[in-house]
Amino acid sequence: MKINNVAAWLAFIFDSSRAFRISHRGHTTLEAFSKRDLPPPIPPRPAPRPPKEPYLALYDNANDDSWETAKCKGANFMRAMRGSDRIAGQVFNPPRDSAASEYENLDFDTAEKWGWGYSEKIPAGNFKDWGIDDVLRDLTLSDKCAGWGGSLDCLTFVHGFKQLADGKWEHDPAPYDVDGKTYRRSGAHYGMAFDASQGVIIALDRDSPQSAGKQIKPPVQGDELPAEIISRAIREVIPDAKDFPAWGGYDFDTDTPEGQALLGTQNAQAFSYFLFQHKATLGNLHISEVRVFRDNRPKNAGPNLLFIVKPVPAKNETKPSTEQYEDIPSMFAKLKPHQGVSAADTVKVAAKGPEDLPAPRPLIVMPKPVPALFSKDPQPTYLDLYTNAADGEWEKAKCKGANFLKAMKGSDAEAGKAFNPPRDSAAGLYNEENIGDLMEWGWSGGEAFEPGMKHYGVDGALRDMGSSDTVLQDGGDIRLVSFRHGMSKMGDNDQWIPMDEQRYEVNGKEYRYTGAWYNFAVDEVNGVIIATDRASPQDIGSKKMPIIAGDDLPLIRAFSDFAWIYWAALADGIGSDVKNIHYFMSLSITNELTQRILSRCVREILPGSWGFPDWPGFEFDTSTPQGQAILGTPNAQAFSYFLLQHKKELGNLFISKVRVFHDANWISHANLLLIVEPVPTGVKPGKPEKSEEQGTSVVAEPQVQGQTSPAILRLRHWWNRAKL
């Protein structure tokens, strides 16, 4: 079903009385809606109507447990409607990777297979009998079903009912078979009306298979019914209220506790499912307000709910989806707010402003204000948090990070104890003189000229840091570097030789190429090293058939060694200060363990968070558990090795803070900024425990610019030879 004209979807529920029971699992596939523009709205009514009889007293309040349960459900529905399809899938139990309905593209034949039928007759086709004819007219809608001279399409879906000649219904117990199994019809029914041109769905009378098919024990009663939740919502904002309001009613913003409790009622929740299970068809729509009112029937009046549906805002405090749908632009081009919902006598219950919220608890991390240099409005991008790291993953990362911190702050001998097995010194084994060894172990390098930092969505962040945001050949200071362990090459017969068919030999032993790569950028002027795209030999080798591991891996394989070899060669070549290192960055993070740990860090200091912050992000001191867990992630640990393995050249430097943020790209990723400072004098690092460097995995492309000093000449000569 494709619905390309969604005109401010509205949905009604009628008769939310004590005896009314429904299940949120009842989903129905509708026929394709017609495309027709909205009629001109009617002018607002000049004055509220006088109260109408009958009087409908509020019910007893829902108890605290029922109220909190409904609020929790409603809040989850809001997140699902506003979030991506993946986030919406987490609402289900058990969680799903996608919220998409399995019946998205099915027709009514599937429903008939499962014993459902339908009739275009409902018990009352004139909505005056429902007591809402004036409401429908105010909303510029027809107040009659098509069979009664109106334009509303009215249907009753039945599961084990048949309609007699006099219009009455009786239970049809005939069994039905599906896939060789015999089922009994439950006697359930769903009465509804809709107007496709106006974007309205009306739920009239519903009795789900769960309710109709069996006697529930214990019975559903009292606080569990929607009427009690609705009554409490009214009293929460109007403490002395005695009765349900007539139409225009009370509007509850769904960012309020009352609005969310209403969304969590049995009569409301099916509409949330309707929206977030069909994002691919509808786009990202959410219920923004819920209106409560009573109908105008002289006898047996009941409470009613009106749900106002709008697109999820792309900006503001409401979170947009990270997913795009191809039909959204054409659909939204025709989407207009339904003017009739702004009744003049509606009481508004708005969300509380920040000044009304309780003071937050002190955070161990505070977002930094955006510097004046980065004054342009950020792009309206969003990145959902991932699933939290499990306790075991979290504790292991914290332990690693704490050990790295002790090693960076300690002496070279103390840092050596961080290795497994321990060393007398942490000093690295490689420097700029080992360029030839890289080639011997199957590595090649090259210069790249794109992409620039804008490609990664961090050009604004770099400017704020005082770094260049432009590559060297375009007048900036950024050098892009690439190392690869094997690639296809042209053979003597002018035929390409796949990498997996090639071998290299070291000390008489033949090795296979792994296909690993390290792409990174450096700004030696401002002291920045940026990891843009990394896939270690350990990681890529483990995916080969047969796998490449252990002694079959190249001897030189740690990213920290590659970064140091180039950094030292560059400093030696152009005379820059090798100690001039202030920042590390890891961009476009795709490593799943790192994603889970970063997500848990954000949630630990801001419970209930949905997404990563944009730049300037959240800053974690590495003395905190969160900061140390980040240091222990696959994407960060190489930078600790870079510092602790080169104390002789760099002095005692350590990573003091870590900033987490998402980039400004439309398809956004998490990023890390690691801030480097000298170890304060008098710091006692403590005794590190054993640790070891592991592979990383991220995403991107790179390049580098040659120089004319002896070290750079060696580097360029090796690159040129390696590319032959």
Q: Which amino acid is at 426?
A: A
Q: Given a cut of 50, is residue 689 above it in pLDDT?
A: no
Would you state the structure tokens that stand for residue 692, as one six-digit string? Answer: 């070891």
Tokens of 129: 């009998």
Report the candidate in 307, 314, 317, 345 with the shortest Cα–Cα distance to residue 328: 314
Cα atoms found within 13 Å of the Cα of residue 473, Cβ hemisphere only: 11
Does the pLDDT at position 49 exceed 60? Answer: no
Query: How many other CB atoms sit within 10 Å of the CB of residue 488?
Result: 12
Confidence of residue 214 (pLDDT cuts 50, 70, 90): very low
Question: Which of 17-21, 43-47, 284-288, 679-683 is predicted most confidently?
Answer: 284-288
Q: How many CB atoms lie within 10 A of CB 436?
A: 12
User: For residue range 584-596, what is the model confidence (pLDDT) as tens digits?
Assistant: 999 999 999 999 9
Task: Find, among 710, 713, 571, the residue nearest to 649 by Cα.
Answer: 571
Tens of pLDDT, residue by residue over 522-577, are 999 899 999 999 999 999 999 998 999 999 999 999 999 999 999 998 888 777 78
Q: What is the mean pLDDT of residues 205-225?
A: 44
Out of 23-27, 209-213, 273-277, 452-456, pick the least confident.
Answer: 23-27
Give CA separation, 136 vs 72, 149, 150, 395, in Å. 31, 15, 12, 59
Vertex 464: Cα angle to 459 and 466 (nearest 5): 95
Query: Across 256-260, 373-377, 521-525, which has the greatest mean pLDDT?
Result: 521-525
pLDDT at 704 over 90: no
Which uninterrupted H or E stretch holds 510?
A: strand 509-512
Contacts of 403 (CB under 8 A, 6+ apart): 418, 688, 689, 690, 691
Position 97 scores a pLDDT of 81
pLDDT of residue 594: 97
How many other CB atoms sit within 10 Å of the CB of residue 617? 22
The three-point CA angle 36-41-42 to 5° equals 140
Task: Quote the tokens at residue 122.
Answer: 């409902």
pLDDT class of 43 with cuts at 50, 70, 90: very low
Q: Determine the pLDDT at residue 316.
A: 35
Residue 313 phi, psi dihedral angles, 5° rounding: -60, 145
The residues, any chain, with a CB within 8 Å of residue 148's CB and separated by 6 or more, are 125, 126
**Spatial CB neighbours of 334, under 8 Å, sequence gap ≥ 6:** 4, 5, 7, 35, 37
Predicted confidence at residue 628, as pLDDT, reads: 96
* pLDDT number for residue 656: 94
* pLDDT on residue 453: 87
Query: What tokens were used for 632?
Result: 């222990």
Q: Say if residue 24's pLDDT is above 50.
A: no
State residue 635's pLDDT score. 97
Instruction: Say how far residue 146 (Cα) sits from the centre of its chain.
Output: 43
Confidence at residue 162, expressed as pLDDT on a 0 to 100 scale: 64
Helix (H, G, I), strand (E, B) or coil at 421: coil
Given a cut of 90, is residue 390 above it in pLDDT?
yes
Taking phi first (over 0 means left), then psi (-120 to 50 degrees means alpha), and beta for anything else, what does residue 187 get?
Answer: left
Lowest mean pLDDT among 117-121, 265-269, 435-439: 117-121
DSSP 618-664: EEEETTSHHHHHHHTSTTTHHHHHHHHT-HHHH-SEEEEEEEEEE-S
CA distance 722 to 719: 5
Q: Do residues 584 and 529 touch, judged by C-beta distance below 8 A?
A: yes
State how far the Cα of 157 lies from the Cα of 188, in Å rounded to an integer: 8
Q: What is the mean pLDDT of residues 482-490?
A: 86
Of 204, 380, 375, 378, which is closest to residue 295 (Cα–Cα)?
204
Instruction: Say how far apart CA 338 and CA 351 lie, in whole Å.
Output: 21
pLDDT in tens, 601-646: 999 988 888 889 988 889 999 999 999 999 999 999 999 999 999 9
- Of 121, 106, 132, the closest CA to residue 155 belongs to 121
Phi, psi of 443 (to 5 degrees): -90, 145
> Which two structure tokens, joined as six digits, stand for 454?
């804008």
Least confident of 336-350, 370-384, 401-415, 449-463: 336-350
Position 306 confidence tier, pLDDT thresholds 50, 70, 90: confident
Q: pLDDT digits over 427-455, tens only?
A: 988 887 787 788 899 998 866 766 778 88
The confidence score (pLDDT) of residue 662 equals: 93
pLDDT at 398 (0 to 100):
94
Tens of pLDDT, residue by residue over 635-666, are 999 999 999 999 999 999 999 999 999 998 88
Backbone angles phi, psi at 381, to 5 degrees: -105, 165
> Would you say residue 380 has pLDDT above 90?
no
Q: Is the pLDDT reported for residue 36 higher than 70? A: no
Rounded CA gap, 481 and 563, in Å?
9
Q: What is residue 218's predicted lDDT score, i.e. its pLDDT? A: 39
Question: Residue 598: pLDDT band by 50, 70, 90 thresholds?
Answer: very high
Residue 618: strand pairing partners:
660
Both tokens of residue 158? Answer: 């039945």
Enumerate residues 6+ apart whose C-beta is below 8 A from 345.
Answer: 45, 47, 48, 49, 248
Q: Give the β-pairing of 509-512 and 503-506.
A: antiparallel
What CA–CA distance (Å, rounded) separates 283 from 306? 21
- pLDDT range class, residue 123, cuts 50, 70, 90: low
pLDDT band at 9 (very low <50, low <70, confident <90, very high): very low
Question: Residue 32: is it exposed, middle or buried by C-beta count within 10 angstroms (0-12/13-18/19+)?
Answer: exposed
C-beta separation of 108 from 155 below 8 A = no
Question: Does the pLDDT at position 496 exceed 60?
Answer: yes
Strand ranges (E), 87-164: 117-119, 153-159, 161-163
The vertex-709 CA angle with 707 and 715, nearest 5°, equals 65
Q: What is the mean pLDDT of residues 477-498?
A: 85
Rounded CA gap, 248 and 235, in Å? 17
**Residue with more model confidence, 442 or 30:** 442
CA atoms within 13 A on the CB side of 157: 20
What is the model's pLDDT at position 335? 23
Distance CA 399, CA 395 (A): 6
Asked if the model's pLDDT at residue 405 lies above 90, the reply is yes
List the single range of 26-40, 114-128, 477-491, 629-643 with lowest mean pLDDT: 26-40
Q: Which residue has the higher pLDDT, 36 or 77?
A: 77
Please give the share of the chain, as a percent, with pLDDT higher than 90. 26
Mean local confidence (pLDDT), 147-161: 73
CA–CA separation, 278 and 102 (whole Å)? 10
Query: With 70 as the cut, is the pLDDT of residue 369 above it?
Result: no
Pair 583, 673: CB distance under 8 Å:
yes
Percent of the chain with pLDDT over 70: 67
158 with 169: CB under 8 angstroms?
yes
3-state secondary structure string across 304-367 = EEEEEEEECCCCCCCCCCCCCCCCHHHHHHCCCCCHHHCCCCCEEECCCCHHHCCCCCCCCCCC
pLDDT at 146 over 70: yes
Question: Average pLDDT, whole number, for the chain?
Answer: 73
Using 50, 70 and 90 to split pLDDT, how confident is the model at 368?
A: very low
Tell me the sheet residues that pair with 671. Answer: 661
pLDDT at 235 over 50: yes
| Residue of higher predicted confidence among 243 and 698 | 243
Distances (CA, A) of 417 to 181, 414, 431, 564, 654: 67, 6, 21, 21, 17
Q: Check residue 165 and give its pLDDT.
A: 66
Alpha helices in 62-171 (DSSP H): 64-82, 85-89, 108-113, 133-138
Q: What angle separates helix 637-644 from helix 391-409, to the nearest 10 degrees?
A: 20
> Can the peptide bond before residue 257 be classed as cis, meaning omega within 30 degrees of 0?
no
User: Which band of pLDDT confidence, cut at 50, 70 and 90, is reported for residue 89?
Assistant: confident
pLDDT of residue 542: 92
Q: Is the dihedral of CA 492, 498, 504, 510 positive or negative?
A: negative
Residue whose tokens read 């015999």:
182
pLDDT the model gives residue 339: 31
If you average pLDDT over residues 311-332, what whole number do you get? 40
H or E segment to which residue 25 belongs? none
For 664-677, give the secondary structure using H, E and C. Answer: CCCCCCEEEEEEEE
The more confident residue out of 151 and 209 is 151
Say yes or no to pLDDT of 388 above 90: yes
For residue 310, give the nearest of 651, 589, 7 by alpha carbon.
7
**Position 348 pLDDT exceeds 60:** no
* pLDDT tens per residue across span 194-207: 777 777 888 776 55
> Contact 287/271 with Cβ under 8 angstroms?
yes
């913003």: which residue's tokens?
Answer: 253
